[in-house]
Amino acid sequence: MEDHEGKKILVIQTHGVDTPTRTYSPLYYAVAAAAMEMEVMVWFTMNGTNQLKKGEAEKVSLVPESGVTLKSMLEMAMDNDVQLRVCQQSLTLWDMTPDDLIEGVEILGATSIIDLALEYDHVMYF
């Protein structure tokens, strides 16, 4: 199989704590790509934003009986150098301020996502 080391993958996550089963795979893929030595960013927008509010992700159990929560998946992503970014405009949808965000997440504006989508080798949209 071809080695894609060094490629850049952008994962756009629009699902949040209200739909737990749609939150696990995007983060899993992101970590897998990082483990394959790709540069990976997850961009949270729309409903995806709400999982980044302090205290929310730990409430979401993802893999029964294994202790895996949405919080542990977000931590695994950060431990593997996956960059987590949130859409500035979508914070207001959830009445969130920058202080509400968990550690390690950066805020970017809408023009940035356009630049990134054009710059990255591949975009995965969820």
Partner 1 sequence: MAHEKINECIIFTNLYYAVEDNTWVRVNDDGTVTIGMTDVAQSLAGPILHARAKSPGTQRKKGRPIATVESGKWVGPVKSPVTGEIVEVNETLAKDAQMLNRSPYNEGWVIKMKPANLDEDLAGMVTGDAAVEAYRAKIEKDGVTCTHIEGSEEY
> Which is closer to partner 1, CB of 38 or CB of 87?
38
Instruction: Based on the shown chain and the rule CB under 8 A, indicate whether residue 6 belongs to the binding site for partner 1.
Output: no
According to CB under 8 A, which one of 4, 18, 19, 35 is a site residue for partner 1? 35
According to CB under 8 A, which one of 17, 68, 123, 124 is a site residue for partner 1? 68
CB 7 within 8 A of CB 38: yes
Q: CA dist 19 to 9, 39, 60, 111, Å?
A: 23, 27, 9, 27
Q: Is 22 helix (H, G, I), strand (E, B) or coil?
A: helix
C-alpha 31/C-alpha 79 separation (Å) is 9
* Binding segment toward partner 1, per CB under 8 A, in 6-14, 29-37, 41-49, 109-117: 29-37
What's the burial of 23, exposed, middle or buried (CB within 10 Å: 0-12/13-18/19+)? buried
> Which is closer to partner 1, CB of 6 or CB of 109?
6
Which residues contribute to the site for partner 1 (CB under 8 A)? 1, 3, 28, 31-32, 35-37, 63, 66-68, 76, 80
